């Protein structure tokens, strides 16, 4: 009988101690326990943030590499480069395109001697000697103006070029690597269109139309925004350049 009482009391005590609903299990946390709990939560948050940051950085790196590869293969294949010198008549104002991947060569007319070349945006390479200029722009290049002072046939001249970054989406031209400026008179825009009509029997019909005069390729471009020649309801502008 005594043994049964002892077992019963022992069982009862065990239940009381092990009971999770016992009031003593709901006592307030001590200050140390609160600190330990907060540190554990903070540590968990830091670990989660660390892995989230890694994921974000990896995504950005992958996206950047993808954009670089897309830009490289979409913008430049062999068909978009013109290695042959493009001839242009020398003038006081002109426009050329270049790209950070390539060095652009600018040739002034034979006999010209360059005394000064200046650009409004600092390039990687800007060298000149006699009638030749070598230009390579920086990776973030967009647009600049180039001022060239030179002498030709005992006379001094100033040429101002607008230099732009090549963008295949904004032009029908190839990327010209060599510009060969000739000491010939640039034909008047109206004269070019008249010669086009005489040659082909009609006014230019395409967005970009070409005619070669005096060894220079002229482009007649439909441009209702910046065109300066009106033919019927169409505005044209005339430029020199290569056919893609």
**pLDDT for residue 53 is more than 90:** no
Mean pLDDT over 12-22 rounds to: 52
**Which of the given ranges, 71-80, 114-123, 152-161, has the highest pLDDT on average?**
114-123
Q: What is the pTM of this model?
A: 0.58
CA distances from 226 to 145, 205, 222, 237 (A): 20, 17, 9, 7
Is there a contact between 116 and 149 (Cβ–Cβ < 8 Å)?
A: yes
Phi/psi at 144 (nearest 5 deg)? -160, 165
Torsion of CA 129, 132, 136, 137, to 10 degrees: 90
Q: What is the pLDDT of residue 28?
A: 56
Q: What is the pLDDT of residue 119?
A: 95
**pLDDT for residue 218 is more than 90:** no
Tokens of 90: 């020398």
Mean pLDDT over 198-221 rounds to: 87
**What is the location of CATH 2.60.40 in the chain?**
74-185
Is there a contact between 193 and 172 (Cβ–Cβ < 8 Å)?
A: no
74-185 belongs to which CATH class? mainly beta
**Cα–Cα distance, 51 to 54 (Å, whole number):** 5
- Where is 141: in which H helix or E strand? none
Is there a contact between 122 and 138 (Cβ–Cβ < 8 Å)?
A: yes
**Cα–Cα distance, 82 to 199 (Å, whole number):** 26
Query: Which of 29-33, 85-89, 136-140, 154-158 has the lowest average pLDDT?
Result: 29-33
């Amino acid at each position: 009988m005594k043994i049964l009482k002892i077992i019963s009391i022992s069982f009862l005590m065990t239940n009381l101690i092990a009971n999770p609903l016992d009031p003593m299990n709901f006592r307030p946390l001590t200050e140390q326990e609160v600190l330990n709990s907060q540190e554990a939560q903070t540590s968990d948050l830091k670990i989660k943030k660390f892995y989230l940051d890694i994921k974000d950085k990896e995504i950005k790196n992958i996206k950047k590499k993808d954009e670089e590869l897309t830009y490289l293969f979409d913008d430049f294949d062999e068909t978009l480069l013109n290695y042959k010198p493009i001839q242009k008549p020398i003038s006081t104002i002109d426009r050329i395109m270049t790209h950070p991947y390539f060095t652009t060569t600018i040739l002034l007319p034979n006999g010209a001697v360059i005394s000064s070349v200046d650009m409004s945006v600092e390039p990687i390479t800007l060298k000149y000697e006699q009638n030749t200029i070598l230009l390579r722009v920086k990776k973030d290049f967009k647009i600049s103006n180039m001022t060239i002072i030179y002498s030709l046939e005992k006379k001094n001249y100033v040429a101002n070029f607008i230099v732009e970054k090549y963008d295949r989406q904004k032009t029908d031209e190839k990327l010209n690597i060599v510009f060969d400026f000739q000491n010939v008179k640039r034909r008047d825009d109206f004269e070019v269109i008249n010669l086009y009509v005489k040659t082909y029997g009609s006014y230019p019909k395409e967005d970009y139309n070409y005619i070669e005069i005096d060894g220079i390729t002229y482009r007649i471009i439909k441009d209702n925004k910046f065109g300066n020649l009106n033919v019927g309801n169409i505005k044209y502008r005339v430029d020199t350049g290569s056919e893609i």
